[in-house]
């Protein structure tokens, strides 16, 4: 099995507080790998380190066999890592379609100069071929997420659940090989969660490795190939959903040490 | 050709209006990526002095000096743009303000460019109005294309959430530098055109208040569409002229009416206050800004209002 992500000794401190402490982790290509743990366990910090929003204090991240180093977030996206945000971060004034097309920009244009050239030198009327292709791909992604009907609505006018889906569509538009989903199920009703389950599986079936932060245990245990449990920045357990659920350290972290089965 | 259409006075008004429109566009482009600059007057000064020095001291023809002025101002823009990448909002405002102040002090104390006496005898270019109009047309076409392009959309995204934009693969550094640099270049053009029409510039020609006025053009005209800067700068620069014409018409109104309600005196005040050579116009700008922030915080013209104008109802 090919290794998508290989993380060694990843440490992030905020002052004296260890948000992540010597985390070792391997994510196998093509897996859905869940990352769970109580609030403040360091899960989102982990995503921020992977996408380059934060710099690690120690440790190394290898993505598809090559170190990520200190590359800026946009370079990492270009290399194939995409994410969604736990606290939704859409572009409020763009429509759903435009939002997804933002994700495609980095694939459609090799550099900002190309983008400028295309903006200025394009034929006087109508859209160029690149733009038309972007629009078409974006519509396909919106359909995949069930948002086609809302294509021309502003992102800020969509319902909470649809905004979460739009985040996934925008991330997919960057054509990632690794997708990081930060609590995609938060605030969804049971129907929407069931649909999300199917969506994530379908994304995996497209050959995209998924790392999933999620509190909804039914969702996590149902679709994950592997689960890593964090508590206070340290990995306390790892394994298949079944193994993790029975792990004493996990029960302790979630339920407290007095409650032993 | 345009030159012969208008008398000297009208031509002068039109040139200054055009220069203000260009200056407004120089603010609009970096603003599209969320960068608010109060320093556009500084870039205007750089363009103006660069072109003045080249033409007057080195005998370079104006047609060649103008693009050089734009390039010099644009390169300064990229230099200032680098520290501008790291700071936002009020701090960026202060940085750009500081930059304009530095330019002003340098032009005041550098004798090569006239120092406190100012730069005199800049070659007058009779066809300046043609240059101004041509550049505005080019810019409007440029912005029309930018707005419908992927890069324009990317700039909007950077404006709305820089972090999310970067994580979605947009090269925020280049996009912001490009916008800031091109904006500075446009300001350089505006400054050069101003210099060759006025034929005299000094450090005070491009003072801090000029930067503030440029910002007002865009805020009042509307900053969400590229027609906003054109409307705002055009409206505010031409307003006193409209008022003057209205005032002439008022002479025809029977005196008994104007005694009852002295419209002519209101117009006299407004015209006086809005006159371009009169600092009192800033009072009126201030009032307009306050009213606008309450009634139309997004400016006179917005993307939505444009959509409503151009699309049939219900579309």
Would you call B166 and A72 a contact, using CB atoms and an 8 Å cutoff? yes
Give the pLDDT score at A35: 93
In a domain, A85, yes or no: no
- Co-location of A70 and A180 in the same domain: yes
Query: Which residue has tokens 């569409």?
Result: B225
- Among residues A123, A154, A172, the one where a domain terminates is A172
Question: Which of A72, A102, A122 lies at the smallest CB-CB distance from B153?
Answer: A102
- Tokens standing for residue A59: 């440790």
For chain B, give the number of residues.
Answer: 315
Looking at the structure, tell me whether residues A72 and A191 fall in a common domain. yes
Minimal CA separation from B251 to chain A, in Å: 49
- DSSP H stretches of helix in A87-207: 96-108, 112-121, 129-144, 160-173, 190-205
Name the nearest CA neighbour of B26 among B158, B220, B215, B195.
B215
**A108/B175 CB distance under 8 A:** no
CA dihedral A16, A19, A25, A26 (to 10 degrees): -130
Query: What would the pLDDT profile of B41-72 be if each residue is shown by its tens digit?
Result: 999 999 999 999 999 889 899 999 999 999 99
Q: In what order do the strands lie in the sheet with A3-14?
A: A17-28, A3-14, A58-63, A66-67
Question: Who wins on pLDDT, A31 or B259?
Answer: A31
Mean of the per-residue pLDDT values for chain B? 86
Assess whether A61 and A107 both reside in one domain.
no
Under the banding of pLDDT at 50, 70 and 90, the label for residue B278 is low
DSSP A24: E
Interface touch B167/A78, C-beta < 8 Å: no
Q: Is A229 exposed, middle or buried (0-12, 13-18, 19+ CB in 10 A)?
A: buried
Range of the structural domain that residue A255 is part of: 1-80+176-261
Query: Are residue A164 and residue A183 in the same domain, yes or no?
Result: no
Does residue A156 sit at the B interface (CB-CB below 8 Å)?
A: no
Q: Residue B150: its chain A contacts at CB < 8 A? A: 101, 105, 108-109, 115, 118-119, 130-131, 134
CA atoms of A13 and A59, how far apart (whole Å): 12
According to DSSP, residue A7 is labeled E
Domain count, chain A: 2
| Residues A221, A245: Cα–Cα separation, whole Å | 9
Contact of B81 with B176, CB cutoff 8 Å: yes
Tell me, yes or no, whether A60 and A187 share the same domain.
yes
Question: What residue in A sits closest to B165 (Cα-Cα)?
Answer: A102
CATH number at residue A193: 3.40.50.300
Task: Please say whether the beta carbons of A109 and A118 come within 8 A.
Answer: yes
Asked whether residue A160 is domain-assigned, the answer is yes
- Residue A133 forms contact with B (CB below 8 Å): no
Which 3-state string (H, E, C) describes A52-78? CCCCCCEEEEEECCEECCCCCHHHHHH
Please count the CA atoms within 13 angstroms of the CA of A41 that sit on its side-chain side. Answer: 21
Q: Is residue A185 part of a domain?
A: yes
Condensed to tens digits (0 to 9), the pLDDT of residues A163-179 reads 999 999 999 999 999 99
Q: Which of A97, A115, A135, A172 to mutate to test the interface with B (most CBs of B within 10 A)?
A: A115
Specify if A168 maps to a domain.
yes
Contacts of A126 by beta carbon, 8 Å cutoff, 6+ apart:
none
Domain endpoint, select from A142, A172, A202: A172
For chain A, say whether B170 makes contact (Cβ under 8 Å). yes
B146 C-beta neighbours (distance < 10 Å), count = 22
Mean pLDDT of B122-139: 92
SS3 category, A131: helix
What pLDDT score does B246 carry? 66
pLDDT at position A227, please? 92
Chain A residues within an 8 Å CB radius of B144: none
Q: Do A167 and A185 fall into the same domain?
A: no
Tell whether B298 is covered by a domain.
yes
For chain A, say whether B173 makes contact (Cβ under 8 Å): yes
- A115:B153 CB<8 A: no
Give yes or no: residues A76 and A123 share one domain: no
3-state secondary structure of A209: strand
Assign B182 a pLDDT band (cuts: 50, 70, 90).
Answer: very high
* Number of independent structural domains in chain B: 1
> Does residue B283 lie within any of the structural domains?
yes
Q: What is the 3-state secondary structure (H, E, C) of chain B?
A: CHHHHCCHHHHHHHHHHHHHHHHHHHHHHHHHCCCCCCCHHHHHHHHHHHHHHHHHHHCCCHHHHHHHHHHHHHHHHHHHHHHHHHCCHHHHHHHHHHHHHHHHHHHHHCHHHCHHHCECCCCCCCCHHHHHHHHHHHHHHHHHHHHCCHHHHHHHHHHHCHHHHHHCCCCHHHHHHHHHHHHHHHHHHHHHHHHHHHCCECHHHHCHHHHHHHHHHHHHHCCCCCHHHHHHHHHHHHHHHHHHHHHHHHCCCCHHHHHHCCHHHHHHHHHHHHCCCCCCHHHHHHHHHHHHHHHCCCCCCCHHHHHHHHCCCCC
B315 in any annotated domain: no
Which residues are bridge partners to A154 per DSSP?
A95
Domain that holds residue B74: 2-310
CA distance A81 to A176: 5
More confident residue, B314 or A29: A29
B216 occurs within a structural domain:
yes
* Contact yes or no for B170 and A116 at CB 8 A: no
Nearest to A242 by CA among A220, A259, A258: A220
CATH number of residue B140's parent domain:
1.10.3470
Q: Residues A190-232: pLDDT tens digits?
A: 888 888 999 999 999 999 999 999 988 888 888 999 999 999 8
Binned average pLDDT, 10 residues per bin, chain A of 261 residues: 88 90 92 90 92 92 90 93 94 94 90 85 66 91 92 92 93 95 88 89 93 89 91 90 86 68 51
The verdict on B307 touching A (C-beta cutoff 8 Å) is: no
DSSP state of A118: H
Residue with tokens 């599986």: A201
Residue B176 lies in a domain: yes
Among the three residues A172, A199, A231, which one is the final residue of a domain in this structure? Answer: A172
Strands A17-28 and A3-14: what pairing? antiparallel
- Given a cut of 50, whether residue B315 has pLDDT beyond it is no
When CB atoms are compared, the residue of A77, A89, A134 closest to B163 is: A89
């Amino acid at each position: 099995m090919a290794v998508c992500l290989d993380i060694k000794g990843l440490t992030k401190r905020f002052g004296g507080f260890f948000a992540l402490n010597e985390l070792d982790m391997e994510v196998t290509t093509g897996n859905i790998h869940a990352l769970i743990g109580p609030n403040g366990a360091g899960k989102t910090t982990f995503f921020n380190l992977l996408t380059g929003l934060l710099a690690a204090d120690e440790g190394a991240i290898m993505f598809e066999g090559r170190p990520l180093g200190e590359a800026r977030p946009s370079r990492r996206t270009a290399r194939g890592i995409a994410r969604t945000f736990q606290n939704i971060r859409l572009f409020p004034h763009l429509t759903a379609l435009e939002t997804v097309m933002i994700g495609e920009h980095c694939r459609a244009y090799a550099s900002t100069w190309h983008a400028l050239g295309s903006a200025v030198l394009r034929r006087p009327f109508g859209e160029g071929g690149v733009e038309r292709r972007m629009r078409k791909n974006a519509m396909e992604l919106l359909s995949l997420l069930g948002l086609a009907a809302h294509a021309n609505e502003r992102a800020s006018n969509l319902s909470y659940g649809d905004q979460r889906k739009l985040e996934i569509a925008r991330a997919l538009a960057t054509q990632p090989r690794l997708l990081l989903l930060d609590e995609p199920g938060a605030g969804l009703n049971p129907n929407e969660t069931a649909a999300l389950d199917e969506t994530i599986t379908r994304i995996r079936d497209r050959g995209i490795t998924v790392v999933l932060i999620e509190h909804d245990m039914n969702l996590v245990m149902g679709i994950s190939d592997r689960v890593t449990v964090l508590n206070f920045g340290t990995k306390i357990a790892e394994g298949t959903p079944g193994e993790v659920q029975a792990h004493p350290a996990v029960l302790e972290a979630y339920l407290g040490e007095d409650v032993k089965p | 050709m345009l030159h012969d259409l208008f008398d000297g006075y009208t031509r002068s008004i039109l040139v200054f209006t055009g220069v203000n429109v260009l200056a407004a566009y120089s603010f609009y482009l970096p603003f599209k990526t969320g960068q608010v600059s109060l320093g556009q007057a500084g870039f205007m000064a750089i363009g103006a002095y660069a072109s003045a020095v080249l033409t007057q001291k080195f005998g370079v023809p104006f047609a060649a000096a103008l693009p050089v002025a734009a390039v010099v101002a644009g390169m300064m823009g990229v230099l200032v743009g680098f520290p501008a990448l790291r700071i936002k909002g009020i701090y960026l405002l202060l940085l750009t303000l500081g930059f304009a102040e530095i330019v002003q002090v340098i032009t005041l104390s550098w004798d090569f460019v006239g120092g406190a006496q100012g730069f005199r005898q800049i070659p007058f270019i009779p066809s300046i109005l043609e240059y101004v109009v041509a550049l505005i047309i080019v810019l409007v076409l440029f912005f029309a294309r930018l707005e419908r392009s992927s890069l324009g959309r990317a700039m909007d995204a950077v404006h709305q959430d820089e972090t999310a934009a970067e994580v979605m693969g947009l090269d925020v550094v280049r996009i912001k530098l490009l916008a800031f640099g091109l904006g500075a270049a446009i300001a350089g053009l505006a400054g050069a055109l101003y210099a060759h029409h006025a034929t005299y510039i000094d450090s005070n020609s491009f003072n801090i208040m000029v930067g503030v006025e440029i910002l007002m053009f865009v805020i009042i005209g509307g900053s969400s569409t590229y027609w906003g800067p054109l409307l705002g700068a055009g409206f505010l620069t031409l307003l006193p002229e409209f008022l003057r014409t209205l005032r002439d018409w008022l002479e025809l109104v029977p005196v008994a009416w104007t005694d009852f309600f002295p419209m002519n005196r209101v117009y006299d005040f407004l015209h006086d206050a809005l006159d371009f050579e009169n600092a009192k116009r800033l009072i009126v700008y201030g009032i307009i800004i306050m009213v606008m922030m309450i009634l139309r915080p997004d400016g006179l013209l917005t993307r939505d209002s444009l959509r409503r104008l151009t699309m049939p109802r219900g579309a």
